Amino acid sequence: MADTPTEYIKHHLTNLTYGKVPAGTVRCDGSITQADQWVLARCGEEMNAMGFWAFHVDSLFFSGLMGIVFLGLFLWVARRASAGVPSGFSNFVEVVVEFVDGLVRDTFHGKSKLIAPLALTTFCWVFIMSSIKLLPVDTAWGLQVLFGLEYLKLVPTVDPNITLAMSFSVLFMIIGFAITHKGIGGFIGDLTLHPFEVSNPIGKILFIPINFVLEFVALMAKPVSLGLRLFGNMFAGEFVFILLAAMLGYWQFVGAVPWAIFHLLVIPLQSFIFMILTIVYLSMASEQH
Amino acid sequence: MNINATLLGQVIWFALFVWFCMKFVWPPIIGALTERKQKIADGLNAADRAARDLELAQAKASSNLHEAKEKAAEIIEAANRRANQILDEAKANAKAEGDRLVAKAQAEIEQEINQAREQLRKEVSALALQGAEQVLGAEVNRDAHKQLLEQLAAEL
């Protein structure tokens, strides 16, 4: 464990990273690599040397695990789903499913087999991933020592890679929906013929680059804001937990408990926002102006 | 805060989970919910229908009851009438029988009186003859005085 609060915080915010160190990198123990090597990073310098080809093993592991937990629970219910009298956990799952289904029906007016399960998955998955945050921050440290790892960060949504990967997947779906509903021409028209609409052909052509810049920024702003909003909220929350742990030690619960209670509100809210914006973006993409 | 290949891994997870949810989780649950909704709607309809049927049945039952009551009253009335009739008939019969019996008895009495009178007459004539014989001390010729005796008997 790190000694100073700064190091403690930094350590808690660093992911367990597996990546390729190129030949000639100075390793943490001072040795120099002879060839390209795939390793678990043991310090910041190695991580920087890895560049893009690195994976946050902990984020991917816990996001996958939580996804499996979510799908496992829901699949368990789905296997037993019948038109009879529901009970216990089935009730809860059915309430969630009905809630998401109602939202999708209200917001998305087209017909799509994808959008409702997508909304359910984003909502529940983000919710469960973010809920790990409610564990005391040093659970991560305990697990890290238990498995002999250098770093460990439990909450996947505190990793921008995770949230941005999801939001950019949504961007691909936005483009896909736009193309399937309006055709490629319609999609390109959306990008180039708005917001400035001119009736004469010359003006139209003149405005195409301006329109494109504006619309492209608007299009890219959707996934970036979607991903960064979730990341920002979760990071801020986690940061406060870590700060409390760093400053107060065993007395952290004095601040951490109220903050956790507050997060009982924040986590569902952020999951909900992520889901509803996904639905709204996709319905915007599939509707004519 | 590095942006790296974790992105790709998470995109794969995301696609996988969404696909799995779309394939195996969503359809059975939403299917069950829809089916249950239909079932409840059917049940409510059936309940409404049953309530209507019950109302109809009750109305029918009460009308039947009413009819039956009327019929029963009619029957009782008819029975009463018939009973009275029978009673009257029996009374008339009995009276007639009584009258007949009385008449018969009177006739018999009359006949017996006549018989007795006849007998008496005969005996009186004999007694009178005997008395006269004794008084006269001689035999009276019955045939000679027959007319006289018969006259006497007729006067009795």
Specify the amino acid at residue A188.
Answer: I
* B56-63 mean pLDDT: 96
Question: What residues in B contact A74, CB-CB < 8 Å?
Answer: 21, 25, 29
Q: What is the DSSP string of A189-249?
A: HHHHS-SS--SSHHHHHHHHHHHHHHHHHHHHHHHHHHHHHHHHHHHHHHHHHHHHHHHHG
Domain boundaries, chain A: 5-65+126-286
Record the tokens describing residue A115, joined without a space.
């959008």
Tens-place pLDDT, residues B7-52? 999 999 999 999 999 999 999 999 999 999 999 999 999 999 999 9
Contact A41, A17 (CB under 8 A): yes
B-contacting residues of A 40-69, CB under 8 Å? Answer: 47, 50-56, 59-60, 63-64, 67
Contact (CB<8Å) B4/A75: no
Contact B35, A83 (CB under 8 A): yes
CB atoms within 10 A of CB B121: 16
Q: How far apart are CA A190 and CA B4, in angstroms?
A: 31
Percent of chain A predicted with pLDDT > 70: 98
Most confident listed range (A4-18, A27-41, B68-82)? B68-82
Contact (CB<8Å) A166/B15: no
Contact (CB<8Å) A94/B33: yes
Record the tokens describing residue A28, joined without a space.
């943490």
Mean pLDDT is lowest, of A81-85, A174-178, A268-272, B98-102, for: A81-85
* A40-47 mean pLDDT: 82
Nearest neighbour of A165 by CB, restricted to B7, B18, B33: B7
Q: What is the DSSP string of A241-288?
A: HHHHHHHHGGGHHHHHHHHHHHHHHHHHHHHHHHHHHHHHHHHHHHS-
Residue B17 domain-assigned (yes or no): no
Helix, strand, coil fractions of chain A, as percent rounded to 5 = 75, 5, 20
* A36-56 mean pLDDT: 83
Q: How far apart are CA A241 and CA B47, in angstroms?
A: 57
Report the chain A residue with the minimal C-alpha distance to residue B14.
A166
Within 13 Å and on the Cβ side, how many CA atoms surround B146? Answer: 3
Q: Is the pLDDT assigned to residue A73 strictly greater than 60?
A: yes
Provide the domain limits for residue B118.
Answer: 47-155
Q: Is the pLDDT assigned to residue A1 strictly greater than 60?
A: no
Residue B96 domain-assigned (yes or no): yes
Q: Is the pLDDT assigned to residue B1 strictly greater than 60?
A: no
Q: Is the pLDDT assigned to residue A201 strictly greater than 80?
A: yes
Q: Is the pLDDT assigned to residue A288 strictly greater than 80?
A: no
The mean pLDDT of chain A is 88
Residue B39 domain-assigned (yes or no): no
Contact A96, A269 (CB under 8 A): no
Q: Is the pLDDT assigned to residue A178 strictly greater than 70?
A: yes
The mean pLDDT of chain B is 90
- Name the more confident of B81 and A209: B81
Mean pLDDT is lowest, of A137-146, A153-162, A213-222, A266-275, for: A137-146
Residue B89 domain-assigned (yes or no): yes
Residue B98 domain-assigned (yes or no): yes
Q: Is the pLDDT assigned to residue B69 strictly greater than 50?
A: yes
* A107-118 mean pLDDT: 88
Active-site amino acid positions of A: 225, 229, 233
- Name the more confident of B93 and B121: B93
What residue spans of A138-200 are helical by DSSP H? 138-147, 160-192
Confidence (pLDDT) at B138? 63
Nearest neighbour of A161 by CB, restricted to B3, B24, B27: B3
Tens-place pLDDT, residues B102-155? 999 999 999 999 999 999 888 888 888 888 878 886 666 667 677 777 777 777
Indicate the number of domains in chain B.
1
Q: How far apart are CA A286 and CA A97, in angstroms?
A: 23
